[in-house]
């Protein structure tokens, strides 16, 4: 009875891995092409077998199978890693998933992604990804950290801190950018916000405001208008102070990790 349950569970997982390809890849045309030409699917199938052997405590062979899968697909998944159902590794060349990593159901992982550790510590040392997480090409998620459900990690980002659910992370190091009230499609990487550009824009605005104030102070004016000028500058400074405080908050959040 137990064997029948395990066989059914494994079969359902493999079917979910196969079906998700058509949902996540517009280039998937037919079942034969997916079965024969998708290295991410092949790597996952071999990993599930090697992971089963790993849980049985079998020495050497699980690592040999993972090494063979790496040679054939370019995707390195340690047999100790836990991979959920419906995970899709798109293209996949250069993907590395460490021994204690956990990948939740229906995650989407692009080429060059690393789910790795940060040192030689023992125990749980690799990240845990929640459900429906998207990790962009070349992104690195390092250490024993938790990435919440429905998180989007931009291409090339380096994530070193935990991320709550329903957030978008971009940059090096990765910083959270909130997308409240707006749906982000899994494949819509072109719409990821640029937190660095926002901070640079805030700094430029601050410089322009200071330059304008210096220019105003250098202009010669009649003596009778001094009182009016002082009042106008005071009001200008008060208004600009509010503006600068908003900009300073954006800058400080950027340096502090923008919410991570």
Which residues are paired to 158 by β-bridges?
140
**Each residue of 86-125: pLDDT tens digit?**
999 998 899 999 999 999 999 999 999 999 988 777 889 9
Q: Are 177 and 229 in a shared domain?
A: no
**Minimal CA–CA distance to 21: which of 13, 11, 31, 12?**
31
Regarding whether 165 and 79 lie in a shared domain, the answer is yes
Same domain, 65 and 164: yes
- Asked if 202 and 181 sit in the same domain, the reply is no
Q: Look at residues 139, 167, 191 and tell me which one is the last residue of a structural domain.
A: 191
Last residue of a domain, one of 191, 214, 239: 191
Q: Spell out a b/e string for 29-47, using b for 16 or more CB atoms within 10 Å of the CB, else e.
A: eeeeebeeebbbbbbbbbb
Write down the pLDDT at residue 44: 93
Q: Nearest to residue 136, comparing CAs of 171, 101, 176, 98? A: 171
90 and 168 share a domain?
A: yes
Sign of CA dihedral 84, 173, 180, 135: negative
Q: By the 8 A CB rule, do 93 and 66 touch? A: no
43 vs 238, more confident: 43
Residue 76: partners with Cβ closer than 8 Å, 6 or more residues away: 66, 69, 70, 95, 96, 97
User: Could you tell me if 63 and 113 lie in one domain?
Assistant: yes
Q: Are residues 228 and 128 in the same domain?
A: no
- Domain of 105, CATH number, reads 2.160.10.10
User: 222 and 125 in one domain?
Assistant: no
Measured CA to CA in angstroms, residue 38 lies from 88, 155, 204, 226, 245 at distances of 10, 21, 47, 76, 51
Say if strands 96-97 and 76-77 run parallel, antiparallel, or are unpaired.
Answer: parallel
| pLDDT band, residue 5 (cuts 50/70/90) | very low
125-159: pLDDT as tens digits: 999 999 999 999 999 999 999 999 999 998 889 99
Q: Which domain holds residue 49?
A: 2-191
- CA–CA gap between residue 132 and residue 151 (Å, rounded): 7
Judge whether residue 183 has pLDDT over 60: no
Domain boundary among 158, 176, 191: 191
Per-residue pLDDT band at 2 (split at 50, 70, 90): very low
The answer on 115 and 19 residing in a single domain is yes
Secondary structure class of 169 (helix, strand, coil) = strand
Same domain, yes or no: 48 and 94: yes
Average pLDDT, stretch 196-204?
Answer: 71
Alpha helices in 25-130, H assignment, sequence order:
31-37, 39-55, 61-73
How many structural domains comprise the chain?
2
pTM greater than 0.95: no
Residues 157 and 249 in one domain: no
Does position 242 have pLDDT exceeding 60, yes or no? no
Residues 103 and 227 in one domain: no
Rg (CA), the chain: 26
């Amino acid at each position: 009875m137990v064997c029948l349950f395990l066989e059914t569970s494994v079969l359902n997982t493999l079917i979910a891995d196969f079906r998700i390809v058509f949902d996540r890849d517009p280039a998937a045309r037919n079942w034969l092409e997916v079965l024969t030409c998708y290295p991410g699917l092949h790597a996952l199938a071999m990993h599930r077998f090697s992971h089963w052997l790993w849980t049985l405590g079998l020495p050497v062979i699980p690592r040999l199978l993972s090494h063979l899968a790496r040679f054939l697909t370019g995707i390195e998944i340690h047999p100790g890693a836990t991979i959920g159902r419906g995970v899709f590794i798109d293209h996949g060349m250069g993907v590395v998933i460490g021994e204690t990593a956990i990948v939740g159901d229906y995650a989407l992982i692009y080429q060059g992604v690393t789910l790795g550790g940060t040192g030689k510590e023992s125990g749980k040392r690799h990240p845990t990804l929640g459900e429906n997480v998207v990790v962009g090409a070349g992104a690195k998620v390092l250490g024993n950290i938790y990435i919440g459900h429905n998180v989007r990690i931009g291409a090339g980002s380096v994530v070193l801190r935990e991320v709550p659910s329903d957030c978008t992370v971009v940059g090096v190091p990765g910083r959270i950018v909130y997308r409240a009230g707006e749906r982000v499609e899994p494949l819509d990487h072109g719409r990821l916000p640029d937190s660095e550009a926002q901070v640079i824009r805030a700094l430029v605005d601050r410089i322009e405001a200071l330059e304008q104030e210096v220019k105003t102070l250098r202009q010669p004016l009649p003596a009778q208008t001094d009182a009016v000028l002082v009042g106008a500058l005071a009001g200008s400074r008060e208004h600009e102070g509010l503006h600068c405080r908003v900009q300073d908050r954006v800058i400080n959040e950027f340096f502090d990790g923008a919410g991570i």
